[in-house]
Amino acid sequence: MAAPHISTAAPVQESVNEPAHEPAQEARQLWRLRAFVTQFAQLLSEAPPEPVILDAGSGLLRELVSHDDWLPEAFAQPDAQRYRQYLLHADSAQRFSVVSFVWGPGQRTPIHDHTVWGLIGMLRGAEHAQSYAPAAGGLQKIGQPVRLAPGMVDAVSPNGAGLHDVHQVSNAYDDRVSISIHVYGANIGAVRRSTYQPDGQRKPFISGYSNSTLPNIWDLSSEQQSPSHHP
């Protein structure tokens, strides 16, 4: 089966701290995240092939990031020195994980791989993603950078035809924070991966996470007391 076309973006020519307690967390629409992880787990329970995961999963993620009213502020905080990766949910069987990537102004990743499939949905701001492929003497850029704006979804994979697993991602803005929501086919913070130098030299790394507590998406008490919430 051919890999689906996931990206809704267009190419452009531009080149561990603890999260604080959020007193007003109940005001955030956390049911959206709970619905997303429940539906994604159901999708994976049917053991579909990867192209189906990416196709159906991109639709679920696109729905989640079309609303910017659910991510708790504790998991949307930038760092002055580097981007942050907050774990939002990890499947109990480690089939998938959901993280928020928070980019301070002008921040970027090194060139890196994932080794598993991934979906990237833009929630706030914008980011650029430049894909790479091995070449004689190092790495070569594949096409122009892709710009993701809110509501857009893109995919990475070491297996999918037409997809790439090695890329570099940067905040598209030098004066504001950007946030993207990523879903990976593993507990991504525990996966052994690599960063790359332009000459192709690899350095192993395990990313871990910027937080040690998770948003409590399973406390239904406030939703049961208020008819305005939609579990």
From the number of C-beta atoms within 10 Å of its C-beta (0-12, 13-18, 19+), residue 64 rates as buried
Structure confidence at residue 20 (pLDDT): 41
- Assess whether pLDDT exceeds 50 at residue 227: yes
Structure confidence at residue 28 (pLDDT): 85
Q: Distance between CA 61 and CA 151 in Å, rounded?
A: 9
Q: Identify the band that residue 2 occupies on the pLDDT scale cut at 50, 70 and 90.
A: very low
Strand boundaries in 149-226, DSSP class E: 153-156, 166-171, 178-184, 193-196, 202-205
- Assess whether pLDDT exceeds 80 at residue 25: no
Q: Distance between CA 228 and CA 146 in Å, rounded?
A: 38
- Assess whether pLDDT exceeds 60 at residue 3: no
More confident residue, 65 or 221: 65
Count helices and strands (H / E) in the chain.
3, 12
Structure confidence at residue 168 (pLDDT): 96
Please give the model's pTM, rounded to 2 decimal places. 0.86
Return mean pLDDT, the chain.
Answer: 88
- Assess whether pLDDT exceeds 90 at residue 214: yes
- Assess whether pLDDT exceeds 50 at residue 56: yes
* Whether the Cβ atoms of residue 160 and residue 117 lie closer than 8 Å to each other: yes
Structure confidence at residue 138 (pLDDT): 87
Q: 82 by DSSP, 3-state: which?
A: coil
Q: 103 by DSSP, 3-state: which?
A: strand
How many CB atoms sit inside 10 A of residue 181's CB? 23
The least confident of 44-58, 128-142, 169-183 is 128-142
Average of per-residue pLDDT across 167-187:
98
Average of per-residue pLDDT across 73-84:
96
- Assess whether pLDDT exceeds 80 at residue 204: yes
More confident residue, 9 or 65: 65
Q: 98 by DSSP, 3-state: which?
A: strand
Length of the chain: 231
Average of per-residue pLDDT across 132-141:
88
Average of per-residue pLDDT across 29-46:
97
Pairing of strands 118-124, 193-196: unpaired
